[in-house]
Amino acid sequence: MASIREVAKLAHVAPSTVSRALNGSGYVSEKSKNKIKKAVEELDYIPNQWIRNLYKKRTGIIGVMTPDIIHPYFSTLWNYLEAELDQYGYNVVICNTRGNQDKEREYLDTLERNLFDGLIVGSAFLSDEYYMNIEKPIISLDRIIPGIPLVTSDHHQGGILAGELFLEKGCKKVMCFSDPTRMELASADSARALIDVMEKHNREVIIESFQWEEVINYQLCMKRTRTLLDQYPDVDGIMALDLCAAAFLKTEKNKKILAYDGTYVTDFNYHSIDSIVQDAKKVAKESVNMLIKLINDQPLKKREVLVPVKYKKGDTL
């Protein structure tokens, strides 16, 4: 990460001049401002937020909106987000909506009242229009909203990886729990890519779903897996979120099981679960980097970042 002294050196000005230019706290000539701006962009410099708060009347607080903190991937991601934001002097407020639109609206209203400097949205349920009318820094982590920057995993890559693994293991009928028709969700790319790979080899993909309560409640998840296995006895491969994959492993030992997220949950069983791993640490770093730039009115080199996923070998494929 570049320092203010490196910016000053590249712009051929004093560090104090860079500080005045960034904070708007004193006179800086237009010529120097232009040199500093060019140096900031070239070095991708992000100033320390505590210093900026002294001059910009900001709160130093970032809202992080989640559907439920108990979800294994989101809890892992929020931990990394908090660590990343702390490096810039920001405190974090976890906005737990539980899928409730009224709660989501309250948090967005808090952002508009300048009680948050920015918002990172893990899951959105309100309309695109609601978000598009907010002139505040927002980053989305899954929902594709016009005008809102997106930082997410490369789910298309994840779906291709999954399909190739199932083919390699000889699976002919795979059950998947991501809805390919949800074009507004980046995560749905995993299902679309999986279907493409499997159907090219004349294999079948069954699309099913879990209710949110089942995704975060292991007992409900177990009950749902038993129902699905009774309904589809000939399925030989399953791709599901970590907790759901763990429930399938507990219920059925003779099917190929692939977890999607790759959190700590995949190592909690007697058998480690093969996983498509989302790099939560990298997602956090990229989303915070982009949000800080928005807050500081710095240009974004790109408004969509796809973080590569990887395969983690286990005992279930």
What is the percent of the chain where pLDDT is above 90? 48
Which residue is associated with the tokens 């990887």? Answer: 310
CA 285, chain centre distance (Å): 10
- Residue 60 burial (C-beta neighbours within 10 Å; 0-12, 13-18, 19+): middle
pLDDT attached to residue 251: 78
Euclidean distance between CA atoms 176 and 161, whole angstroms? 14
| 27 has pLDDT over 90 | no
In this structure, the chain runs to a length of: 317
Q: For 59-110, what is each residue's pLDDT tens digit?
A: 788 988 888 778 889 889 999 999 999 988 888 888 888 778 888 888 888 7
Task: Give residue 23's pLDDT band: very low, low, confident or very high (50, 70, 90).
Answer: low
Residue with tokens 């000939």: 234
Q: Which residue has the tokens 């660590």?
A: 83
- With H, G, I as helix, E, B as strand and everything else as coil, classify residue 30: helix
Res. 46: pLDDT tops 70:
no
The region of weakest confidence among 2-6, 72-76, 313-317 is 2-6
Nearest to 235 by CA among 268, 257, 215, 217: 257
Question: What is the CATH class of 57-152+280-307?
Answer: alpha beta
CATH topology of domain 155-277: Rossmann fold (3.40.50)
Beta bridge partners of 152: 306
Residue 252: exposure state from Cβ atoms within 10 A (0-12, 13-18, ≥19) = middle
Closest listed residue to residue 142, CA positions, set 274, 244, 287: 287
DSSP 50-76: HHHHHHHT---EEEEEES-TTSHHHHH
**Which of 55 and 17 is assigned the larger pLDDT?**
17
Residue 277 has pLDDT above 90, yes or no: yes
Q: Where are the domains of the chain?
A: 4-45, 57-152+280-307, 155-277
Is this structure's pTM higher than 0.85? Answer: no
Relative orientation angle of helices 72-86 and 242-251, to the nearest 10 degrees: 150
The secondary structure of residue 6, as a DSSP letter, is H
Largest distance between two CA atoms of the chain: 74
3-state helix, strand, coil in the chain (%, to 5): 45, 15, 35
**Which stretch of DSSP H or E encloses residue 175?**
strand 173-176
Q: Which residue has better confidence, 141 or 56?
A: 141
Task: Evaluate if residue 214 carries a pLDDT over 60.
Answer: yes
Q: Which of 53-62, 86-95, 232-241, 272-281 has the lowest mean pLDDT?
A: 53-62
Tell me how many helices (H) and strands (E) the chain has. 13, 12
Looking at residue 50, what is its pLDDT? 47
- 226 alpha carbon, distance to own chain's centre: 30
Beta bridge partners of 54: none
With a cut of 90, say whether residue 211 has pLDDT above it: no
Same fold, 57-152+280-307 and 155-277: yes
Is 54 buried (19+), middle (13-18) or exposed (0-12) by CB count in 10 A?
exposed
Average pLDDT, the chain: 87
pLDDT given at position 305: 97
Nearest in space to 123 (alpha carbons), one of 108, 138, 109, 140: 140
Which of 154, 185, 148 is CA-nearest to residue 294? 148
pLDDT tens track for 158-207 = 999 999 999 999 999 999 998 899 889 999 999 999 999 999 999 999 99
Read off the pLDDT of each residue in 24-51 and give the average, rounded to a whole number: 75
> If you average pLDDT over residues 40-61, what whole number do you get?
66
